Structure 1
Amino acid sequence: MSAMAACSSAFSSVMSTIASTVTLTLRRRLGALVIRPGYPREQRVVVEETEAHAGVSGKEVVMRRAAVYKRCGCKTRSEAGGGRCPRLGERGHGSWYFSLELPCGRDGRRHRVRRGGLRSRAAAEQARAYLLGADVVPGRGAVTVGQWLDIWLEMRQSLSFNTRRLYTQQVNDYLKPCLGSVPLRSLTVARVQAMFVGLVRANATRQRPLSPATFVRIRGTLHAALNGAIRVGLIERNPAHLVELPSGRRPRAVVWTDARVAHWRATGERPPVAVWTAKQTAEFLEHARGHPLYVLYLAVALLGLRRGEVAGLRWCDLDLDAGVVQVSHQVQDRGGRTVVCPPKTEASVRTVALDHGLAAALRVLRSQRRHGDGGGPVGFLFANRDGGPLSPGYVTHTFTRLLVEAGLPPVRLHDLRHGAASLSLAAGNDLKVVQAMLGHSSIVLTADTYTSVLPCLAHRAAEATAALVLEAARDTAIALRERGRREQRRRGKGRRSRGRVAKKQHRRVRPHSAPRRSHS
């Protein structure tokens, strides 16, 4: 019996050690996947802390694998669906979760782990298998840059659609082909620098070379991913932080002057960013008059709205009596679908004043859209045949076609936004007013990027500078003449004073005369 007791005690000790080891391993793996505070609540890992104790049985060491499931934040529930959201079956609605249980302790309580916010079922199964000990992701020392980039993209659930698409494109086209097989802990500044040197050399054979701004964005994506690896303890420093990039400057918007237009017609060369003059903008709007999207382009040219913002305008956002429009939504093209989403930044949500001409054009558009019962129009200002918002791509394509028909020098639709800022500044508006109109959070961005020096404004500034100098020159000439007169008066007064002194001295000094004779 003593031998049996000894064997039982040894077995319990071994099982306790195994349970403790499994628990520690799972917690370490869990720590590598924890999303730090600051992300949405449903994207964090939740662990109900209880400590594993000795004395667990062999069956309790085995993990119980819970099913992967889908959740959403909607409050709508369907009784027929068992209290679940009826839209959970739709693709792209909600996110995927998984749960598992660690070994229970002496008190019988289990360690419950829940993880959510994953984009696909496969990602949830992969993360769950990783926590359970499967070789989905190798140990910390063997994780490659490519593997970590995939994990990092899955963890960044708060990214907008366009930002995620940009990150994914940069990861797949540049980062993984050059650095994907490199162990993450072996990544050095020299390796990252060599990648950018290779990309610069490859520019010579590219049909469309990468710009310096593209290099900055690629480094920014890698820098953000490596910062995430630092937060979970995979590496200690960020090699992308010390990488030097090719020098380059952001292209400044120039104006289509007559000389630039003549050069473009002769050579076909065009500047990267160019804006129309007030006359050229008026020519385009006159050519577009009568087109169904005339009012849309008029709003972009005068208010500087982004194409997604103007496509997302609704009739309820418009107050023609007050002469204002509220920008609260934008439209984006996502994989062949047109979706409505919040504006680009918090500062993009703004109220913009309407001029009398644009307000009159909107009144005409509203009268054309009135229902037969006399009610006002609903939905989007510029809608497609189905009543949905126009695709931003269609808006851009139509603008390019009208531009070519008008025979004007080429500009992008977004350059109308540049032009609106420059025209507003040329009209004498304050830079702070232009910033509010464009929806910028920083006035520096408005001053550095969206304002070009129009010829009329340049001439006005030159004339003002010349007038200031000429006025100062006139004041200086008057002062010099006045000083000369004072000097002359002072000199004349000095001469007269010296003459009077000489006369006085002449009277005092008389020649000796003969003594007077007496007449006695």
Structure 2
Amino acid sequence: MDKAGRPVLDEDGNQKSGFLEKACPKLKQRDHGSWYYSIELPPGPDGKRRPRAKKGGFRTKKDATTAAEAVWKLAQGGVDVLSEETVADYLRRWFANRVDLKRSTRTSYKDYIERVFIPYLGATKLLQLRTRHIQGMSEKLWADNEVHAENQRKAHQALAAERAAHAAWKDCPHRPRPEGLRQAWQDAKAALTEARALPTHVTGPGTQLRMRNTLSGALDDAVDEKLISENWTKGVVLPKYVRPKPLVWTPARIEAWRQTGEKPGKVMVWMPEQTGEFLDAVAGHRLYPMFHLMIFRGLRRGEAAGLPWAETDLTHGTVHISEQLVVASYDVWEDTPKSESGERTIKLDSETRKLLELWRERQAGERAEWEESAKAWKDTGLVFTWEDGRAYHPEHLSQTFTRLVARLGLPPVRLHDLRHCAATLSLAAGLHMKAIQNLLGHGSYSLTADTYTSVLPQFEDAQAEAPLALVPRKSPAHRDVAHEPDAKAGAQTAENPAGVPSEDAA
């Protein structure tokens, strides 16, 4: 407005607008206006003057001063306080620059960023991100987990209802079948489709920890880039994560499993007797040499599936683990082992070595037969292949193993658990923990030691008895002192009915 109170117009006839600041005629009113700060920032990298940092809406001068001081300190520390970059913009830019990541790691990071971080935090400006925002994201995940777990339960119930309705329709002896049965089956199928459409993904403590570590790495880089002052993930509280340790299938656990159908732990290991039963039962199976290799030498599924003949020295009885087949969403690709120490040379036992020699002869015969029939044999160079030379899909190996275990009626273990069998058998056989670490290709000694702290029951008995042998005794340790009273010690006898200690005993 001009001094006469008339609107001031621009060239297009629109009223000009801007901050009145101290010129506002209503500023003296108690409830009108708010405090702003305006800061002259240090020159940019090119030495040119930068726009002033300005923000308003503060109720008091003290609030504005406090905020201005915080921004000033950030600016003096090199943080770009004028940045408008959001968390979503930064995380996508950060991910695009992480060309050093393995493909499997990139897949996980992209999933965390697009499915979790951006929906919860993406609209927040990176400069305004705080611990409370990240903690709120975690708490929302916990709440979603409860809903998703309930959705899983409903999906299981809907599946059982659909199967029951289908069985009732299929097994009906009357012809034609009553229309009501078919309609009930159709309704059950529709209910199952609806139940399966609900989100059922539960984010466990281990995944939440990996998510926080991913976000922490991104924010560490943001601190180094002078985009934020500190890593706000440091104060976030998550559910306690305990790495699952292998449990042995003891007779008591097997009996409980047969009654309830529930495994006592996520990671289970066979006893030697069960391992032998499995190997004897599948000795004629095509994949028997691979199973034998994994059980006794501890290869991962992808390492066994991706093992090339070029890294297999049967003359000296060694295999060099330098690559593996990795799976994500059923896509397969070659990659290096899981950790730096995952690349290792493993000495073969005599039986596995002989099996691989026989397998090589069999594979050569299959190749000759395939080529004689004018079919192209795919030369992958891998040890374990189909009859036409194609590589095995790692998921196919897991599914085949699971079916074999179920058919044999053995307590369930995963294909990956054969690796734990190898570690447990080696530990029970007396190998040092360091040797087991090298066998498995673990990145640290502590990981191996923390995972395999228990041994098989028959070896626990020997360990429990070992300390007794170190203490010399005049009489057996199990002597029943209740039936061999000692008068000197104050025992109640015919000569000493009160059981009063003698002078010698004293």
What's the TM-score once normalised by structure 1's chain length? 0.61
Change over 3 Å in CA distance of 1:428–1:162 after alignment to 2: same
- Residue aligning to 2:136: 194
Contact kept in structure 1, 2:344 and 2:441, CA below 8 Å: yes
- Say whether residues 1:320 and 2:317 are aligned partners: no
Distance change in 2, residues 1:187/1:473 (3 Å): farther
Residue 100 of structure 2 corresponds to: 158
- Measured at CA, do residues 475 and 292 of structure 1 come closer, stay the same or move farther in structure 2, by a change above 3 Å? same
AA of the residue aligned to 1:263: A
From 261, 285, 291, give the equivalent of 2:285: 291
Which residue in 1 is equivalent to 2:395?
393
Query: Could you tell me how far apart the structure 2 residues matched to 1:200 and 1:373 are?
Result: 58
Deviations 1:222-272 (A, max 9, x none): 111111222222111111111111223222211111111111111122111
| 1:228-247 equivalence runs, <5 A | 228-247=221-240
Task: Please give the secondary structure, in 1, of the residue aligned with 2:430.
Answer: coil
Q: CA deviation at 1:25?
A: 10
CA contact (8 A) 2:317 2:349 kept: yes
Structure 2 residue identity aligned to 1:198: K
Cα distance in 1 between the residues matched to 2:456 and 2:413: 15
| RMSD (CA atoms) | 2.8
Q: CA deviation at 1:447?
A: 1.0
Q: CA deviation at 1:346?
A: 2.3
Indicate which of 101, 115, 133 corresponds to 1:173: 115
Deviations 1:438-490 (A, max 9, x none): 1123211111124542112212211223433xx3444999xxxxxxxxxxxxx
Is 1:413 the counterpart of 2:406 in the alignment? no
**Pairing 1:110-121 to 2, within 5 Å after superposition:** none
Q: What corresponds to 1:309 in structure 2? A: 303
Instruction: Pick the structure with greater CA Rg.
Output: 1
Residues 327 and 350 of structure 1 are in contact (CA less than 8 Å); yes or no, is this contact kept in structure 2? yes
Q: 1:373 to 1:258 in 2, by over 3 A?
A: closer
Aligned-partner residue type, residue 382 of structure 1: F
**2:219 maps to which residue?**
226
* 2:145 paired residue among 203, 218, 239: 203
Give the TM-score normalised by structure 2.
0.63
* Contact 2:380–2:390 (CA under 8 A) maintained in structure 1: no
What residue number does 2:91 align with?
A: 149
* Residue equivalent to 2:325: 331
User: Which residue among 437, 454, 457 is the counterpart of 2:456?
Assistant: 454
**CA contact 1:315–1:378 (8 Å) conserved in 2:** no
Shift in Å, 1:283: 1.4
Match of 1:212 in 2: 205
8 Å contact from structure 2 (residues 363, 387) kept in 1: no
Q: 1:427 to 1:385 in 2, by over 3 A?
A: same
Given that 1:140 and 1:234 are in contact with CA atoms closer than 8 Å, whether structure 2 keeps it comes out as no
The code of the aligned residue for 1:176 comes to I
On the 8 A contact 1:331/1:339 being kept in 2, the answer is: yes
- Aligned mates of 1:164, 1:461 — CA distance in 2: 45
Deviation at 1:288, TM superposition (A): 1.7
> Is the contact between residue 305 and residue 393 of structure 2 (CA under 8 Å) also seen in structure 1?
yes
Q: Distance in 2 between matches of 1:450 and 1:310?
A: 22
1:268 aligns with 2:261: yes
Q: 1:282 to 1:458 in 2, by over 3 A?
A: same
- 1:188 shift after superposition: 0.8
Question: What are structure 1's unaligned runs of at least 5 residues?
Answer: 1-20, 29-137, 478-520
What displacement does 1:338 show?
A: 3.0
CA distance in 2, matches of 1:403, 1:25: 71
Question: Using a 3 Å threshold, how does the CA distance of structure 1 residues 452 and 306 change in structure 2: closer, same or farther?
Answer: farther
Q: Distance in 1 between matches of 2:331 and 2:206?
A: 28
Partners of 1:275 and 1:336 in 2: CA distance: 26
Contact kept, 8 Å, 1:347 with 1:440, in 2: the verdict is yes
- The one of 344, 352, 363 equivalent to 1:358 is 352
Structure 1 residue 281: Cα displacement: 1.1
CA drift of 1:304 comes to 0.4
What is the total number of aligned residue pairs between the two structures? 343
Distance, in Å, in 2 between the alignment partners of 1:166 and 1:440 is 21
Give the AA of the match of 1:223. Answer: S
Partner of 1:60: none
Is 2:302–2:394's contact at 8 Å kept on the other side of the alignment?
Answer: yes
The answer for unaligned runs of 5 or more in structure 2 is 1-42, 51-79, 150-200, 370-378, 478-506
Secondary structure at the residue paired with 1:347? helix
2:233 aligned counterpart, secondary structure: helix
